[in-house]
Structure formats: C-alpha cells, structure tokens
Amino acid sequence: MQLDEKMIAQAQAVQEDMVRVRREIHRTAETGLETFKTAEIITRELMRIGIPREDIRPMINGAAVTAMIYGKSHGKCIGLRADCDALPIREMADVPFKAENGNMHACGHDTHVAVVLGAAKLLYDNRQDLCCDVKLIFQPGEEVSAGAKLMIDEGVLEDPKVDCIVSFHSAVPGDSTPEFPCGSIGYFENMPVSACVGKFKVVFKGKSTHGGMSPHLGVDPVYMAASAVLQLQAIMTREKEPTERAVLSICRISAGNSFNIVPSEAEIAGTVRTFDKELGEWMLQRIREICTSVAEGLRGTAEFPEMEIGSAVTVDPAMMKQLHESAAKIVGEDHIYKAVKPMFAGEDFASFTDILPAAHFNHSVAFDDGTPMYPNHNDRFIVNEEKFYTGAATAARFILDWAEKIS
C-alpha cells in the first residue's frame, strides 16, 4: 500500500510541539480526578491549533476537556479519546523534565495527550476532507477507573451524539506486547484488548482480647483472614476448568497495631482479572460465600464494603480492519504488528466500548538502541519521543478514512 506522504509530512511538522507538550504535562503530573493544570494546558493547546474557545468544553469540574472539530459534513461524529492522569509514584527516571511533586506519568498518559493533540492539529488542518465531526475527549481518572464513566454520565457522548470512538496506548515491550520498533503500530484482532478488572475488600470482624493471657476470650479476625486467603486460592484451581483464563490475587492484608493484642478487625483486599465478565462476577460471589463461611465457622462475621468488576475493552472488527489499512498508509505493512494476546491490565476505555463501536491500537515508544526499558507503573518508566508523529498520523488517517466509509 502506498504511503500517505502528505499526512506523514504534516505529522512530522508537529513532532516538536508534541514533545514540548508531553514534557510540560510530565513535569506537572497530576493524578486521579485532580488534573486541573493538565486541563488548562490542553485547552491552551487546542486554541493554539485554531479550535474556537466556544467549541472547547470543560467537564468533571474542570479536570476534563472535550472539543469539537467540525468537518465538511455533520451526519456522523467520531470520538478520539486520550486519558491524562498520572500515578502517585515518586519519579526516579533520570530525565530533565521529571516531576517533582511526588507524582509521575508512569503509564504514558502524558504521551497520549500530546499525540492526540497532534492528531487534532492534523484533523483540523484537513477538515475540508473530513466527512464527519470529531469529538476530542481528554479524560482524567483512568488509573482509578472512574473518569470514563463520570464523563459519560455528564453527557460526553451527547450533543452531538458520538457514533463510534477510537483510542490508543503507548506501548513498551512487555508480557502482552511484542518488541516492535519505535513508531510501529500494534492492533488487536478477534480478542479483547484488556481484561475485566474486579476489586474486592473483605473486613473480618471478631472480638479483641489479650493475645498472650486470654486468647480464648476473643474471636480472632486475623485467623479468619489467614484462613480465607488460603481457601480463596482454590476458587479457580478446584472449581473451574484449567482452560479458563482468570487471576485472583490477594494484594493487601492488614490487622491490628500491637504484637500482643488480638484485634477486633482484619482486612484483606485484592483483584480478580478475567476476559469474561460473568466469570468475574461468579468469582466475586464465591469470594463472598467463602469468606462468610470462614468467618462464621470461626465465630465471627465478614463484611464486603467493596466488591465490583468492570468490563473488558472490546473492539469492532470492521473498525480494526480499517485501522490496519490506515496504519499501513503511515508506517507501512512491515511496521504493523498483531497483538499475540490480550492484556490482563485494566483500561477504563471499557466504559466507552460497552456503549460504542470502538477501535484501539498500540503505538510503540520503545528504544531501538539498547536503552534500558522499564514496564508501565515503574518509577523509572521512560518513553522514546522520536516518533510521536506516527501515532498522531495513524489516528488522524484512520478517522478520515473511517468517516468517509460511514458517511
């Protein structure tokens, strides 16, 4: 397939701007739903592109931003989403623009914002060829699995109504991501992109007592928690076929504050991951049943203040076929890679894919020169900034192509 040299050149022309914005957002990393400075930077850059102020809208109390790019026809509207929140990690990466506020963009969301702004510039400059409208969605709170749903509840998919949506994730080599050169595009075929993420918290309640003098007069919640941890590991290994893909991990256990006092409460918390939401819901129900039985058998009780599971990110086959074709116009077929398996990571883009047909791709920010790479959520996580332009051009080319197809 012939490369789109014009689009590639336009994207290369905004490469430096994307790097500049990414570094500014990285330096002022904000977490959760508190991304107010990030939203100010995004708004400033959208206006710099040329998007009128009246077409830019703050959401979630100013932590989120949406903006409209109007094409030559208004029959359809495509959403282009970037998550923009960081993590509460103190950065140890040796970069001159490192964050100093105790937060860190350790999952590439600063890159997502910069690349989507680059794509916005391309779409705005080519709006005379755009057979639809585009709604840009800059979403906070992905890391806390809250932002997408809040924006949906606040009406981000309405006025105008969004018909389909596209997103991407910066990719470094990892368990679910093959090692592919910087600037390459990874796509998903006949599989979910990410897992259903479940989280649970169980509070075991007993009766406090002296741990040395009178343990028989108490009801020990630590024993309940320890017993439950062991029994919960049998949910998948002894109740489901080995071919079922699911993970259950206890990631926190806490109780008491003294070496010689049996406390009145103990708490465990953890996560379940699966690609089948019904299986995940069943796992959570078995956690309730097992923990209740364990607690009652040891004369205590169990309460479940947190027990929920989200959806997996799913993609539309027709949109992914078009994404593959559009990406080939930017990076060439030799730099497109099919994902070998879905990720057990979570991604709250699932709140959008529950509602809309969607496309999602990976954009490689790996180093090709042997520079050490670290996984997402690591305090030394870094990205290769050299080819942001291929991600921006792929997103813009896909939207232009898909809009022409559905208009």
pLDDT at res. 368: 86
Are residues 327 and 400 located together in one domain of the fold? yes
Percent of the chain with pLDDT over 90: 90
Q: Is 76 found in the same domain as 39? A: yes
Together in a domain, 188 and 209: no
221-273 confidence digits (pLDDT tens): 999 999 999 999 999 999 998 888 999 999 999 999 999 999 999 999 999 99
Same domain, 397 and 303: no
Q: Final residue of a domain: which of 309, 332, 352?
A: 309
Q: What is the pLDDT at residue 1?
A: 74
Q: Give the domain range for residue 267.
A: 199-309
Q: What is the CATH number of the domain that holds 124?
A: 3.40.630.10
Shared domain for 185 and 207, answered yes or no, is no
Q: Choose the final residue of a domain: 309, 334, 352.
A: 309
Torsion sign (Cα): 151, 152, 157, 158: negative
Q: Is the pLDDT of residue 174 over 70?
A: no
| pLDDT tens-digit series, residues 15-25 | 999 999 999 99
In angstroms, the CA 269 to CA 255 distance is 12
Q: What is the largest CA-CA distance in the chain?
A: 82
Query: What secondary structure, in 3-state letters, does the chain show?
Result: CCCCHHHHHHHHHCHHHHHHHHHHHHHCCCECCCCHHHHHHHHHHHHHHCCCHHHEEEEHHHCEEEEEECCCCCCCEEEEEEECCEECCCCCCCCCCCCCCCCECCCCHHHHHHHHHHHHHHHHHCHHHCCCEEEEEEECCCCCCCHHHHHHHCCCCCCCCCCEEEEEEEECCCCCCCCCCCCCEEECCCCCCCCEEEEEEEEEECECEECCCCHHHCECHHHHHHHHHHHHCHHHHHHCCCCCCEEEEEEEEEECCCCCEECCEEEEEEEEEECCHHHHHHHHHHHHHHHHHHHHHCCCEEEEEEEEECCCCCCCHHHHHHHHHHHHHHHCHHHEEECCCCCCCCCCCHHHHCCCCEEEEEEECCCCCCCCCCCCCCCCCCCCCCCHHHHHHHHHHHHHHHHHHHC
| Number of structural domains in the chain | 2
Same domain, 95 and 153: yes
Q: Are residues 98 and 185 in the same domain?
A: yes
pLDDT at site 343: 84
Claim to verify: residue 386 and residue 254 sit in the same structural domain: no
| CATH, residue 251 | 3.30.70.360
Q: CA Rg, the chain, in Å?
A: 24
pLDDT mean over 178-185: 86
The pLDDT mean for the chain works out to 95
Residues 182 and 331 placed together within one structural domain of the fold: yes
Q: Are residues 161 and 287 in the same domain?
A: no
Going by pLDDT thresholds of 50, 70 and 90, the confidence category of residue 324 is very high
Point out the domain boundary residue: 261, 280, 309. Answer: 309
Q: Specify the amino acid at residue 397.
A: R
**Which amino acid is residue 345, in one-letter code?**
A
Whether 23 and 99 share a structural domain: yes
pLDDT score recorded for residue 74: 86
In this structure, are strands 164-171 and 77-83 parallel, antiparallel, or unpaired?
parallel
pTM comes to 0.92
Same domain as 281, residue 331: no
